[in-house]
A = this chain, B = another copy of it.
Amino acid sequence: MNHLPEQSADRSVPTSADVARLAGVSRATVSYVLNNTSAVRISEPTRRKVREAAESLGYVPHAAARSLRAGHTSIVLLPTARVPSGAFFGRFFTELHEALRRLDYTVVQYGSLGLGPDEAARAWAELRPVAVVSFGEIALTPHGVNVLKRSGARAVVTLGPECVEGAHSLVMDQRGIGARAVEHLIGRGCRNIGVVQPEEPALAPFSALRLAGARTAADGTGARVEPLALACDEKSAAALAARWRGLGLDAVFAHDDEYAMLLMRALQDEGIRIPEGTAVVGCDDTLIGRLLRPRLSTVHIDLVTGQQLAELVDRAVRAPDGTGEQHDVMETWVVHRESS
């Protein structure tokens, strides 16, 4: 814990007691007025006095004290290791936020970079969230789920590559994504298929599984699968493209649409035609892919909408006896365009 200077004692933060004193009433009355408690009736003049006192002091209730007293929070925790980049997660996140807010939850994205899975779960549990929606950048273990539930979380939802015991899991089958791409490429007659492995560490868990799925799909078909390290910059792409002909590949699954754009450009600059020389498949079905020429074939992931997920969370929170554990797998399929 870092040692912070004491908060200004001179201009200290006003409490409900200060409001009560200024309004000439008790703390209880202040609470009743400011929370519009319907169980008790407070006279209009008193209400006004309290409101004015609160206003003039700049009183803001202390969320920690309130939730301590209440015994629960309305926090929905969205752990975020890396900020999900791109249009794919972006819209989803915004939707989810909005929907949860409409349901009167306090949405908190808690950054947990550099924590192990169980450390992270503990850190989240300290906030006593009523629900946790994890996006799989951080692995949530069964033990972690247990810690969260024991700390009072009424819903734990994971949206990741694998289902997690104890949590309501929405499985985004990363192996399946790799498999879909490679099956598609094999179907188009390709036999030597590169699979991009981004060097960005946050993407490693995804790309490793996609590679595994790609291998499974190629198994026994006579096709070859070749991992290709690639950083998200032009130099790296140019270097890869420069040794492309030596690799003897006729297709590549580029991890996502952005990497696909990067690599496609480098290959084109190297004089390699797409899809004749090399077929390219991206992932996420973003706008980029439709704007590229040739138009990019891509793996579409049928992500649940933010609204639906928010409703799922809300149902689990309100359910009488915890969440019925449930596992859904998201569909994935290839959108075939011109690059393959």
How many copies of the shown chain assemble into the complex?
2
Tell me the chain A residues, 291-340 only, with Cβ under 8 Å from chain B.
Answer: 291, 293, 317-318, 320-322
Binary contact readout A115-153 vs B (1 if CB under 8 angstroms, 0 otherwise): 000000010011110100000000000000011011110
Task: Name A97's contact: one of B111, B125, B127, B154 (CB within 8 Å).
Answer: B111
Smallest beta-carbon distance A16→chain B, Å: 13
Contact of B109 with A13 in the complex, beta carbons under 8 Å? no
Known: A4-B318, A103-B2. A291 touches B97 (CB 8 A): no
A contact residues, range: 35 or more
Q: Nearest Cβ distance between residue A43 and chain B, in whole angstroms?
A: 24
- Binary B-proximity of A241-259 (CB < 8 A = 1, otherwise 0): 0000000000000000010
Stretch with Cβ within 8 A of B (4 or more), from A81-89, A189-197, A206-214, A275-283: A81-89
| A-B pairs with beta carbons under 8 Å apart, 15 shown | A4-B72, A4-B317, A8-B321, A58-B147, A58-B151, A60-B125, A60-B147, A61-B126, A64-B64, A65-B68, A83-B94, A94-B113, A97-B113, A261-B291, A265-B293
If A10-B150, A62-B68 are given as contacts, then 9 extra A-B residue pairs at C-beta distance below 8 Å, sorted by A number, are: A6-B71, A7-B154, A13-B128, A60-B125, A65-B68, A68-B68, A100-B111, A107-B111, A262-B287
